[in-house]
A and B are shown apart, each in its own frame.
Chain A
Amino acid sequence: MLEITNLSHVYGGGSPNAHHAIEGLNLSVAAGELLCIVGPSGCGKSTLLRSIAGLITPTGGQIKVEGDLVRQTPDNLAVVFQDYSRSLFPWMSVADNVALPLRRKNMDKKARREAAHEALESVGLAGAERKYPFQLSGGMQQRVAIARALAYRPSLMLMDEPFGSVDAQTREDLEDLVLKVRGHHRMTIVLITHDIDESVYVGDRVVVLSKAPAHVVGDLKVDLPGPRDQITTREHPDFVHLRAEVGRLVRGHAAAA
């Protein structure tokens, strides 16, 4: 599904202030997998995500999505950004926000509206179609952003710290929402987070990145009994063990640099 080979990216290459965000990163993600990527702050996680989405061109290495080399934004890919208030279009109603990307899919107006309605329903926002983003709470806005991605029916959904800007309760709700919708649509999800617990709770697999320049320092399979539950999963011995292990990997490399 997703193959990353020897990826590297340097900002401001050539200048003395060049910032090596990523160096020699290898990663492969299977179809249908929910991969969480964790790493210390500023380690180049977002650079990695932007490279996969074709929003920036990495300075070295290659990325393949479904066998095709990423040169520009791949089709069938959707991104959910952390900053929902900036990534939603404030001049458009919620329904129009969700329906807009569908223009790329040659759907007529009616089909777009139905798809938007369905996606909003699946994130628990039925009836909010005609509202504007500024009339919704932060958590609801992020649900709209997720609905926008879902309506697009991507085979790969990238999420860049999607729950980083909401309160703890909303965060748990949104984590469960992601677990729910991945069951409905067979898609691959790559979720970037700096929250160790979240990565273990949500992911099938957790990949730990080093401090910049980022490369993979840990790759753990999460084998927790499903369905996951905010209380019982988090007190499960395997969960406790895994989060400790991920934590050590994140910290170990944060401290070393």
Chain B
Amino acid sequence: MAGQADRGQDAHVTHDLRVSAQTLARARPVGTATRWSRRAAGAVAFVALIELLSRTGLVDPESLPPATEIAARGVTLVSDPAFRAHALTSMLAWAIGLGLAALIAVPLGLLLGSVPIIDAASRSVVEFLRPIPSVALIPLVALLIGTGLQLRVTLVVYAALWPILYNTMYGLRGVDPLAKESLRSYGFGPLSVLLRVSLPSSAPFIMTGFRLAAGVALILTVSTEIVAGQGEGIGVFIYLAGLAVPARMTDILAGVCWVGLFGVVVNALLVAAERRAFRWHHARLGEPG
């Protein structure tokens, strides 16, 4: 067995402590069919509640139109070229922002996570920047670079950076030192170990970070559009519908529904991709693959 000093070195990074967000959500051992029927029941109940509140007049139908009306409007919006243009612009800003954030955050995370000196030197700046709400930066950025696509992309990048950066660094911290030693013992240098062991080993965590960032990016895309209030985008569509007198509540909520639906679908796709790509990771944690 290893000397005591050896063991002390390894003890704080056991694998069992590395739990991704997904693992926590998977605790209940229910079948797929049961899970889906429960989800569907919840959604139906929620829709029914809105319908009831609105139809009975408990809530003013002007501010909360019945769910069926919102849904119907949502369907007709799809064939509206103006709405489609709004939606495409938003998706573009979202995708570019998220992609750039990943391209910046993963290498940056690898750097900060593997070079302690740079990590220490940049820590105060990082800790200062991180809590700044991206929306608070809108006036500054708008003044600097204008309010077009570049504004949205910049803010999406800024906000989506953090979950990816932190998950990359967190994942790196958990890489098994023995896995790294195994490759080193074949004469591989630090860069090879970083790219061939540390990066793939942290990939499940980076992917979770990316999934969280996808949600954040969506929030930022829409809110930047609403604040900017001009040009194209789902947020602009919602903003203009709210500006009308009386406000076009059905339009607003139909737009919101589409944003929500988009978020749900993206999340589900990314979860499925994670399960598929990181089967080894989940098998190792003793979960059903």
Within B162-185, which residues are at the interface with A (CB < 8 Å)?
176, 178-179, 181-185
Task: Let me know if A73 and B187 touch, CB within 8 A.
Answer: yes
Which of A73, A75, A104 has the most chain B CB atoms inside 10 A of its CB?
Answer: A73
With a cutoff of 8 Å between Cβ atoms, the chain A residues found around residue B186 in the complex are 73, 78, 100-101, 104, 152
B3 is contacted by which of A44, A132, A161 (Cβ under 8 Å)? Answer: A44
Task: Let me know if A134 and B4 touch, CB within 8 A.
Answer: no
Query: Among A24-32, A79-87, A174-182, A183-191, which stretch is in contact with chain B?
Result: A79-87
Chain A residue nearest to B188 (CB atoms) is A104
With a cutoff of 8 Å between Cβ atoms, the chain A residues found around residue B35 in the complex are none
Does B1 sit within 8 A of A, measured CB to CB? yes
- Beyond A83-B178, A90-B284, whether A19 also contacts B3 by CB under 8 A is yes
| Nearest-Cβ distance from residue B144 to partner chain A, whole angstroms | 42
Does A246 sit within 8 A of B, measured CB to CB? no
Q: Mark B4-19, 1 if CB is under 8 A from A, else 0.
A: 1110000000010000
A91 is contacted by which of B4, B176, B280 (Cβ under 8 Å)? Answer: B280
Does A212 sit within 8 A of B, measured CB to CB? yes
- Beyond A86-B178, A91-B200, whether A132 also contacts B187 by CB under 8 A is no
Chain A residue nearest to B181 (CB atoms) is A55
Bound together, the chains give a CA A45 to CA B5 distance in angstroms of 12
Task: Let me know if A90 and B281 touch, CB within 8 A.
Answer: yes
Task: Let me know if A75 and B187 touch, CB within 8 A.
Answer: yes
With a cutoff of 8 Å between Cβ atoms, the chain A residues found around residue B284 in the complex are 90, 134
With a cutoff of 8 Å between Cβ atoms, the chain A residues found around residue B203 in the complex are 91
A-B pair count, CB < 8 Å, reads 97
With a cutoff of 8 Å between Cβ atoms, the chain A residues found around residue B185 in the complex are 53, 55, 73, 77-79
Task: Let me know if B1 and A46 touch, CB within 8 A.
Answer: yes
| Nearest-Cβ distance from residue B271 to partner chain A, whole angstroms | 19
Does B283 sit within 8 A of A, measured CB to CB? yes
Q: Mark A118-144, 1 if CB is under 8 A from B, else 0.
A: 000000000000001111000000000
Bound together, the chains give a CA A135 to CA B279 distance in angstroms of 11
Bound together, the chains give a CA A86 to CA B15 distance in angstroms of 9
Task: Let me know if A11 and B196 touch, CB within 8 A.
Answer: no
Does B201 sit within 8 A of A, measured CB to CB? yes
Bound together, the chains give a CA A88 to CA B197 distance in angstroms of 10
| Nearest-Cβ distance from residue B84 to partner chain A, whole angstroms | 40
Number of B interface residues, CB 8 Å?
A: 29
With a cutoff of 8 Å between Cβ atoms, the chain B residues found around residue A41 in the complex are 1
With a cutoff of 8 Å between Cβ atoms, the chain A residues found around residue B184 in the complex are 55, 73
- Beyond A91-B201, A132-B280, whether A12 also contacts B5 by CB under 8 A is yes
Chain A residue nearest to B6 (CB atoms) is A46
Chain A residue nearest to B14 (CB atoms) is A86
Does B120 sit within 8 A of A, measured CB to CB? no
Task: Let me know if A19 and B200 touch, CB within 8 A.
Answer: no
Q: Mark B108-123, 1 if CB is under 8 A from A, else 0.
A: 0000000000000000
Does B136 sit within 8 A of A, measured CB to CB? no
With a cutoff of 8 Å between Cβ atoms, the chain A residues found around residue B183 in the complex are 100-101
Does B2 sit within 8 A of A, measured CB to CB? yes
| Nearest-Cβ distance from residue A155 to partner chain B, whole angstroms | 13
Bound together, the chains give a CA A75 to CA B185 distance in angstroms of 9
| Nearest-Cβ distance from residue B278 to partner chain A, whole angstroms | 8
Task: Let me know if A21 and B281 touch, CB within 8 A.
Answer: no
Bound together, the chains give a CA A75 to CA B188 distance in angstroms of 10
Bound together, the chains give a CA A101 to CA B183 distance in angstroms of 7
| Nearest-Cβ distance from residue B26 to partner chain A, whole angstroms | 18
Q: Mark A63-80, 1 if CB is under 8 A from B, else 0.
A: 000000000111101110
Task: Let me know if A81 and B178 touch, CB within 8 A.
Answer: yes
Task: Let me know if B197 and A89 touch, CB within 8 A.
Answer: yes
Within B246-289, which residues are at the interface with A (CB < 8 Å)?
278-281, 283-284
Does A47 sit within 8 A of B, measured CB to CB? yes
Task: Let me know if A134 and B182 touch, CB within 8 A.
Answer: no
Within A6-61, which residues are at the interface with B (CB < 8 Å)?
11-12, 19, 21, 41-47, 50, 53, 55
Task: Let me know if B1 and A194 touch, CB within 8 A.
Answer: yes
With a cutoff of 8 Å between Cβ atoms, the chain B residues found around residue A78 in the complex are 185-186
Chain B residue nearest to A43 (CB atoms) is B3
Q: Could you write out 17 A-B pairs with CB less than 8 Å apart?
A: A19-B4, A42-B2, A46-B2, A46-B6, A55-B181, A73-B187, A79-B181, A86-B178, A90-B281, A90-B284, A100-B183, A104-B187, A132-B280, A132-B283, A134-B283, A152-B186, A194-B1
Question: Top 9 nearest A-B pairs by Cβ distance?
Answer: A11-B5, A101-B186, A79-B185, A46-B2, A87-B182, A90-B280, A134-B283, A86-B178, A91-B200
Q: A45-B1, A75-B187, A79-B185 given; name 4 further pairs at CB < 8 Å.
A: A47-B3, A73-B184, A86-B176, A101-B188
